[in-house]
A and B are shown apart, each in its own frame.
Chain A
């Protein structure tokens, strides 16, 4: 399947250390929150990219293998740690699956693909305003992301557009212990 990413890096045929060296260089071009897809044939690149991303604080989303090509997905995070959650209506993560409303996942498409809560609807933060018509103002909406930051913003925007029954889910997917649905 093809998945929406912001940048793609072709490191096929390169052996260690080049996939990581090139990824590091490329990541400098991205702005926070953007997604890079790295294509590599070096089998060791998976373990190394995962460890490297953790070291520098980027979010390693996942890897799929298609016809001997590894596709790695990384999201740039450099000051993701600062969280200023301001939306006042919040709901605890464990409550969302017990209620009737809609779980709205504000993460990027590829993050959603690598694991989300069953029944959740995916609308990445950046697409929210263009896709408001897909949402029902009468329904309760629980906005979730990875840590609660993007969902906070998304909830604020929904509220500004007249959605009255919106909640920010805290904490985010990083604390989800239940089943993860994958579609990649």
Chain B
């Protein structure tokens, strides 16, 4: 039987379309436990490849013959070996090209909606890591918000759309992934904006992103307006795009809220977080569509693969927006935090421009699940 090679894009399609898939993950139990390819209808088998060196006969009964089977490992080599062994045993299976490394890097651009005067808003969903980036397009120009480090994905998308990247923003200094923002700006001549309160230690030039900063994109003048909304970091800033979308960065997610501790100042910032979520955001229109910078679980994806929900619904349904008691809120967001993201301190240094690791070191730093939220 043959061995199929699937790209990350093919797997992404299965995730978004809620298709069934059997994943045979041949990484270590620890690595699998830490993070895996999430799909609503995926089933999993975790059998490390080194337990299969003498043959796959023992596991054949566990592997269905009536469903697609994808073998996954860290980089590809082991999954290819196991897939070939299964093939020799008469099964047709696929392996994931590039393994979890490639999965962690894959970006799926999905259109969120149309903007006034023919503009468009795209969400770049990084399924493997839970990062969400945005591109606003209008009248031949583009702005990018919270770009991840795979800058080609954005610049080639802009080329395809025949638009010039004019503005690049980071809502805050990221701690869970390496920003591509200033590199895109450098390559395209765009202006790179960062909140000055998060940027005290950065070693490069940037334009200050503060409350009230507004840019217009294209002749049709789509407004991108900044709202100071601290709490995840002291500089965290949100955007209202075209009076219709609220880009919340790492402050507010669909099913959770931001954590205040990744710069080591949870106690100081918890008050800001409360103020942003319980006062500033409540002064905005309920009709705004919230577009966060992350998702944590696959259930946060809409049917079309986007991660977006009306602000009014979040006020009703998001647990983190419904903690009446301020003391209780403080305890929840400071005492019950999940583990911090892998290498978050080093990642902050990279985003400040203080560290310049090689590509494979960057991959290593970003390994593992996203952990920016408090649920």
Is residue B50 contacting chain A, with contact meaning CB distance below 8 A? yes
Q: Which of B49-74 touch A at CB < 8 Å?
A: 49-51, 53, 73-74
Q: Mark B344-375, 1 if CB is under 8 A from A, else 0.
A: 00000000000000000000100000000000
A15 to B75, CA, bound (A): 9
Tell me, rounded to whole Å, the shortest Cβ–Cβ distance linking A70 to chain B. Answer: 14
CB pair A48–B48 under 8 Å, yes or no, is yes
Using a CB–CB distance below 8 Å, which chain A residues touch chain B?
Answer: 15-18, 20-21, 24, 43-44, 47-48, 51-52, 55
18 A-B contact pairs sorted by A residue (CB < 8 Å): A16-B74, A17-B49, A17-B50, A17-B73, A17-B77, A20-B49, A20-B50, A21-B53, A21-B81, A24-B53, A43-B364, A44-B74, A47-B30, A51-B30, A52-B48, A52-B50, A52-B51, A55-B50
A81 to B181, CA, bound (A): 57
CB pair B29–A15 under 8 Å, yes or no, is no
Tell me, rounded to whole Å, the shortest Cβ–Cβ distance linking B21 to chain A. Answer: 23
Q: For chain B, which range describes its interface: under 10, 10 to 19, 20 to 34, or 35 or more residues?
A: 10 to 19
A124 to B116, CA, bound (A): 80
Interface of A is mostly: helix
**Given A16-B78, A17-B50, A21-B53, does the pair A51, B73 have CB atoms closer than 8 Å?**
no
Which residues in A have their C-beta under 8 angstroms from that of B28? 47-48, 51
Which residues in B have their C-beta under 8 angstroms from that of A43? 364
> Among A16, A47, A51, which residue has the most Cβ atoms of chain B within 10 A?
A16
Known: A17-B78, A51-B29. 9 other contacts (CB 8 A): A15-B77, A16-B49, A16-B74, A16-B77, A20-B53, A24-B53, A44-B74, A52-B51, A55-B51
A52 to B26, CA, bound (A): 12
Which residue of chain A is the closest to B80 with respect to CB atoms? Answer: A17
Is residue B332 contacting chain A, with contact meaning CB distance below 8 A? no
CB pair B77–A18 under 8 Å, yes or no, is yes
> Among B50, B51, B74, which residue has the most Cβ atoms of chain A within 10 A?
B50
Which residues in A have their C-beta under 8 angstroms from that of B81? 17, 21
A161 to B51, CA, bound (A): 45
CB pair B50–A51 under 8 Å, yes or no, is yes
